Structure 1
Amino acid sequence: MTKMEHDTSEWHNFFSDFNVYTNSVRLKVFIDAIRNVVDKKKPILEVGSGSGATARILADIGYKIVATDYDADVVKGLKNSSHLPEERLTIHQMDMLDITYEDKTFGAVIHQGLLEHFDDQSIVTTLKEQGRVADWVVFDVPNNRDDEQHYGDERFLPLSHWKKLFDEAGLELVEYYGRMPPVWTYIFPHAFFTNKRGIFSLLGKLFGKSYIFICKKKY
């Protein structure tokens, strides 16, 4: 199996200013997208957990979460900052290119702000693995309308490129939402921004700087 070759040495410092409080509002749209398709009968696997904010929020609202990251210092930080019982939130180190779980172990694999840091081959490899071990793959990435290099190695890919990668990974794009629309769009009614079932988040899709993808393995 391919192993990750990616410098993660600065990620621990990068996440030192992140916590549940600073991330909770920003993550609501992403968490709502997860809740729309994933019930609580099966656990959720998060890869590239980073600050652990998403995992802790989902665990707090009743999901069983397995939070993983490639970097040992990031995993140590996750464990130090989590006060949830292990039966609700399990944390360990794992390479997203070599997911060591059986097929369909999880209700979903999730990640937020992860794949934009990797090349196409790595993205396809991990998406294949994610589709193998879970019923759903739900993730959030910046798109080609964004230009903020938060960490410095982000790739801002258009929707057409992501669709190509999904096809190579054997995934079906079931739905996608737009997030982070520009300030001028706030003159429109709230419903245009809402990502709940049945509403298309039109302004987010047209103008948002981030996409939330909901995928499943092709059969």
Structure 2
Amino acid sequence: MARSKEFEEKEVLDKAMRLFWEQGYEKTSMTELVEHMGIHRRSLYDTFGDKHSLFLKAMDRFDDKISAALARGVKRSKTASEALQFIFSFMIDGDEDSPAGCLMVNSAVELAARDVEVDNKATKAFTTAEQLLKEIILWGQRESEFTSTYNAEELAGYLHNVWIGLRVMARTSASKEKLHRITHISMKLLEV
């Protein structure tokens, strides 16, 4: 008779995701994962596979959680400017009690050049982010909040580059005030 799992899969996956987010893939050992997740090594392998499979599942979990948080924030926004400001603030401040930076950005920098699966997941997440920005820009252009001088897709590419830069700088000792100044300039560039 098979034993029932003594843990909630999403909860322990969140713990692994956080550890990978804080330390990166290479620096995180299986021993640390087992300890941090609070499960037996055999349960980790049975449920998630090897370290690489667990990492890919953690990337998916991260993408799902961040996408949902961004969608909620954008949906609550009354204007495109407010939606974009929400995104920028989220990139700088994140959720309370979350590590600085971005698991997708960190993973792309650490592994994408030599790991096709990580590259595919990061590229997919980046494409989705640019599409979200494009939709917000089009909204702002329709409402005459944002300039129509530039194509929405080009502006989305530019703003996504700012987004990634913010996520990288958030992991450094750069002040949040500096990062907010960068977003302010980016918002000014969109004005009519």
Where is the strand percentage greater, Structure 1 or Structure 2?
A: 1
TM over 0.5: no
TM-score by length of 1: 0.26
Larger helix proportion of the pair: 2
Point out the structure with max Rg over C-alpha.
Answer: 2
TM-score, with structure 2 as normaliser? 0.29
